[in-house]
Structure 1
Amino acid sequence: MKTAQANLDKALSANRAAQADPSTLVAAKLNARNGETLAQAQLRGARLNTLHSTISAYTALLEAQQNVELQTLQVQVDSKSMQVARVKLSIGNATTLDVTNAQNTLASRTSPTPGRR
Structure 2
Amino acid sequence: MKKIIFTDKAPAPIGPYNQAVLADNTLYISGQVAFIPGTDNLVLDNIEVETEQVMQNLKAILEAADMTFENVVKSTIFIMNMGDFARINSVYGKYFNEVTAPARETVQVATLPKNVNIEISMIAIK
TM-score w.r.t. length of structure 1: 0.23
Which one has a larger percent helix, Structure 1 or Structure 2?
1
Which one has a larger percent strand, Structure 1 or Structure 2?
2
- Identify which of structures 1 and 2 has the higher relative contact order when contacts are C-alpha pairs closer than 8 Å and 6+ apart: 2
